[in-house]
Structure 1
Amino acid sequence: MQPLWTFPELGAALASGEDDADGSVAGVSIDTRTIEAGDLFVALKDQRDGHDFVSAAFKAGAAAALVSQGYGRSEEDRALFRVPDTLKGLEALGRAARARLSGDARVVAVTGSAGKTGAKEMLRVCFSALGRTHASEKSYNNHWGVPLTLARMPRETQYGVFEIGMNHAEEIRPLTKMVRPHAAIVTTVEAVHLEHFPSVEAIADAKGEIFEGLIPGGAAIIKYDNPYRERLKAIAARYGARPITFGFDEGADVRGQDLKLSHDGSDLVVCFGGHRMPLHLAMPGRHIAENALAVAAALAAVGADVGKTFSVLAGLSPPDGRGARSVLHLAGGEALLIDESYNANPASMRAALVTLGSMPRPKFQRKIAVLGDMLELGPDAPSLHVSLKDTVDEADIDLIFACGPHMKGLYDALPSSKKGGYASTATSLEATLASNLRRGDVVMVKASNGIGLGSIVKALKAQFGNDGSGCQA
């Protein structure tokens, strides 16, 4: 296998190179805590100035560093590549990585108000069944995450999958132009990030920016039963893209039929181009099945063997923070923990509550939701939180534990029989929740990541994850 980048390649991509000696790097890193021997360390100026850690990177085994022109060399430093701006340098390296891919390689980009990471992971495992695949780690979908993912892409990559996010207009446009996808998915458009947008129509326009980077004739994959379908199709047409719709409604180009939902998965038939293919998903929920239809549309659009890849989805479990499930060992029995703590907006919150409501009784005697604030909703935030009460009722959720000033509005609107406890912070809620759990419970934790409900998940796993000592009956 060839090195990720040789020094001459780095110098050419960056129009830089203080040291023209032979050498190569095996990876690209922006964090000395996770850097590996042989990596290129990129000294970004973000929350902290990466130039303060260049020497530490070399001590940890970095082969080279990308630094600003004004950086002063230390005695232990090795090869340095100097640029006016290190983020711009990382972007240049990302563009060079995309440009060197074989003409037979295929690239897919994913955005949307919900489901981006889930769809990206489905694409990753599907393409991996066909050839060498490179995909975004975690949710590396922002102004540095996308170019970093590109810069890490091996030249031998056959399939690339990139998640692209935003919370302001004009953020997706430069990123999709770096990625230059053959197909681009907008999973859905919903009322999120309203703090930064005048309307949901404006959010649709911002999501539609992803189509601007499509190669000529590329596929714009759009949810059929979304109110902004025609708006997105018009944006796609503006850039010469061919629209492909997905959904369960008649009229979708890639249509799901015979959907059967259960608490531990879904079964459906995927119909497109005269084909009818059965699909089993290990992850439950109608919204997951919809994402799978978007994935099928992308696979077909780039000429992949859809049938050959579908079988791998039966074994794909949801990741931490996005639906991962863990058993809690309580005195006298077990409870189930569903970790949805990484992200939340009104659409995904309702979907998670509906999925929780689908858990079968009497196997799960109580359905408990631990809910934290949904962020960036602007002046409508209080009413959007209170409006979740209808879904709580319809899903037959037994008990709500709430955290955050906006979620208190929902909590106050509930009948006393559904009130488990409220706290202003996640850490303040941990003990109350733990003391109320009992065998037969299913507990779903969901909030925007900034609320920190991940700490509750960690605390429950630490207390109840092994032998159940100290648990409540």
Structure 2
Amino acid sequence: MPDALWTADEIAEAVGGQVAGDFAVSGVSIDTRTVEPGDLFVPLVGVRDGHDFVPQAVANGAAGVLAARAVDAPAVMVADTFKALEALGVAARERAPQCKRGAVTGSVGKTSVTRAIEAGLRLAGKAHASVKSYNNHIGVPLTLARMPRDTERAVFEVGMNHAGEIVPLSGFVRPHAVAITTVGPVHIENFSDGEAGVARAKAEILAGLQPGGIAVLNADNHWFDFLKGEAEKVGATVWSFGEAAGATARLTGFQVEGAGATVSVDLRGEALTFPIHQTGVHWGPNSLCVLLMLEALDVPRETALAALAAFAPIEGRGAEKTIRIPGGAFTLVDESYNANPVSMQAALKTLGARKVAGRRVVALTDMLELGEGSAQFHAELAEPIAAANVDAVFLAGVHMKSLWEALPPTRRGGYAEVAEKLTSVLAGAVQPGDVVMVKGSNGSKAGVLAAALAALDLGEQG
């Protein structure tokens, strides 16, 4: 395999293991459901022992196994497969010294911003990035281990639920540039001091920053001064984005036009206007964050702008679909992948700003991990719902009961304790001309509502 990602000998040297059968691999997988021919299968030990699935991985085409116990397949034998995966990730980083690496974290928007940065990196040359939201203690080293040796630029998403989780991940990536999209009340039930703890945890991404690296920070966020101070402690150069005076990239305009928008910015004193393939108001600052990160990773500006112009909303994160029903069609805005108070308000503001032929309708499920303030966070959504002139509100989840009680009867469309029990009511209520936004935390199954609406499409039915 001339273009092998790893040979058995290289893996053994990287992880301190012993070769038991020669092989070469073109990819790395930890899940038999996603194993592709030529992959290295890494059986991790968790609720189930991944070694039990080695026969299935081999049947699916795995070329070799990183194993901690005897397996009936070519393997590199190690004491601990998780530690070996981490070591393989570090080795991948070290064998590609030419690679400029970026890392992205934040309470809101990190996946979409990472994907948009990736789009720019791929236009610029040989690029590598996290797939899906592989941003935790397994996903980050796995993404590194998959990085080809000739990669020129890479971007990694880095997430957390608790303090101390980002420090080792930043240490694995050793980024040349980092972005903190924003800090808000997300996962705050895991922090005794609430949002301040979240801010400190997000600042951990600076721990692995290369000497003289760049930190791209949100100038409009009320934690900006704290994060700027933390960045300066590690010797980082701070670039900022947002509407605040003095921002490196200062947003001066955001105009929605059809399926896209035009962004105006003062970039270090230079006036710049460019199109993006997004309509969400949060994509004003997001696009500036992407622009600065691409600059930090040596992507030419024209390449960065071309990537932003073409980058479309991701499934579950603002992607739109026209759903044909008897009498016409309605627009489904699928924001079902995740939700927190910050992203909910941004999505509602976007909905309120768009022109609609019919009604503005929202279907919302619980925001999770908000701790003792959860009832208040949910009830307070009544105000942005009113400001957005939403006509009908459908809610699912025990936490959303607080919002239901805060809504005037004229806006109440339907409520259920679980998403599955709301689908028929919601599906029966939509009308031609409506714009229907579905949003909620992944764990509260907002996706069930989006799927039920998508299934109404007469064009998709046989």
Using the TM superposition, give the Cα deviation of residue 263 of structure 1 relative to its aligned residue in structure 2, in angstroms.
5.7
Residue 96 of structure 1 pairs with residue 97 of structure 2: no
Q: Does the Cα contact within 8 Å between 1:357 and 1:397 map onto a contact in 2?
A: yes
Count of residue pairs brought into register by the alignment: 460
Deviations 1:371-404 (A, max 9, x none): 0110000000000000011100001111110010
Q: Does the Cα contact within 8 Å between 1:277 and 1:307 map onto a contact in 2?
A: no
**70, 73, 82: which one aligns with 1:72:** 70
Where 2:32 maps in the other structure, the secondary structure is coil
TM-score normalised by L of structure 1: 0.94
Residue 204 of structure 1 pairs with residue 199 of structure 2: yes
Aligned-partner residue type, residue 419 of structure 2: A
The equivalent residue for 1:428 is: 421
Deviations 1:302-360 (A, max 9, x none): 33212222022222111111111111111010001011111100000011111111220
**402, 409, 412: which one aligns with 2:402:** 409
Residue 120 of structure 1 pairs with residue 114 of structure 2: yes
The equivalent residue for 1:50 is: 50
Using the TM superposition, give the Cα deviation of residue 282 of structure 1 relative to its aligned residue in structure 2, in angstroms.
1.0
Q: Does the Cα contact within 8 Å between 2:396 and 2:415 map onto a contact in 1?
A: yes
TM-score normalised by L of structure 2: 0.96
Q: Does the Cα contact within 8 Å between 2:22 and 2:74 map onto a contact in 1?
A: no
Distance (Å, rounded) in 1 between the aligned partners of 2:41 and 2:22: 17
CA 1:467 to 1:221, structure 2 compared with 1: closer, same or farther past 3 Å?
closer
The equivalent residue for 2:227 is: 232
Q: Does the Cα contact within 8 Å between 1:176 and 1:213 map onto a contact in 2?
A: yes
The equivalent residue for 2:450 is: 457
The equivalent residue for 1:25 is: 25
Distance (Å, rounded) in 2 between the aligned partners of 1:426 and 1:355: 23
Q: Does the Cα contact within 8 Å between 2:281 and 2:349 map onto a contact in 1?
A: no
Using the TM superposition, give the Cα deviation of residue 202 of structure 1 relative to its aligned residue in structure 2, in angstroms.
1.3
Residue 344 of structure 1 pairs with residue 339 of structure 2: yes
Where 2:86 maps in the other structure, the secondary structure is helix
Q: Does the Cα contact within 8 Å between 1:331 and 1:468 map onto a contact in 2?
A: no
Distance (Å, rounded) in 2 between the aligned partners of 1:465 and 1:315: 29
Distance (Å, rounded) in 1 between the aligned partners of 2:258 and 2:461: 24
Where 1:370 maps in the other structure, the secondary structure is strand
Aligned-partner residue type, residue 172 of structure 1: I
Where 2:275 maps in the other structure, the secondary structure is strand
Using the TM superposition, give the Cα deviation of residue 467 of structure 1 relative to its aligned residue in structure 2, in angstroms.
5.7
Aligned-partner residue type, residue 341 of structure 2: P
Distance (Å, rounded) in 2 between the aligned partners of 1:418 and 1:317: 31
Distance (Å, rounded) in 2 between the aligned partners of 1:56 and 1:44: 14
Using the TM superposition, give the Cα deviation of residue 468 of structure 1 relative to its aligned residue in structure 2, in angstroms.
6.8
The equivalent residue for 1:39 is: 39
The equivalent residue for 1:299 is: 294
CA 1:377 to 1:408, structure 2 compared with 1: closer, same or farther past 3 Å?
same
CA 1:433 to 1:451, structure 2 compared with 1: closer, same or farther past 3 Å?
same
Aligned-partner residue type, residue 15 of structure 1: G
Using the TM superposition, give the Cα deviation of residue 268 of structure 1 relative to its aligned residue in structure 2, in angstroms.
1.6
Using the TM superposition, give the Cα deviation of residue 79 of structure 1 relative to its aligned residue in structure 2, in angstroms.
1.4
Unpaired stretches in structure 1, ≥5 consecutive residues: none
RMSD value, Cα: 1.5
Where 1:464 maps in the other structure, the secondary structure is coil
Using the TM superposition, give the Cα deviation of residue 465 of structure 1 relative to its aligned residue in structure 2, in angstroms.
5.3
Quote the sequence identity (%). 44
Distance (Å, rounded) in 1 between the aligned partners of 2:398 and 2:283: 30
The equivalent residue for 1:327 is: 322
CA 1:9 to 1:374, structure 2 compared with 1: closer, same or farther past 3 Å?
same
Residue 132 of structure 1 pairs with residue 126 of structure 2: yes
Where 1:420 maps in the other structure, the secondary structure is strand
Distance (Å, rounded) in 1 between the aligned partners of 2:397 and 2:437: 16
Q: Does the Cα contact within 8 Å between 2:64 and 2:73 map onto a contact in 1?
A: yes
Unpaired stretches in structure 2, ≥5 consecutive residues: none
Distance (Å, rounded) in 2 between the aligned partners of 1:243 and 1:465: 51
The equivalent residue for 2:172 is: 178
Deviations 1:38-81 (A, max 9, x none): 1000101234321110111112111111122xx233xxx22122
Where 1:141 maps in the other structure, the secondary structure is coil
Using the TM superposition, give the Cα deviation of residue 85 of structure 1 relative to its aligned residue in structure 2, in angstroms.
2.0
**160, 164, 188: which one aligns with 1:166:** 160
Q: Does the Cα contact within 8 Å between 1:325 and 1:336 map onto a contact in 2?
A: yes
Q: Does the Cα contact within 8 Å between 1:218 and 1:242 map onto a contact in 2?
A: yes
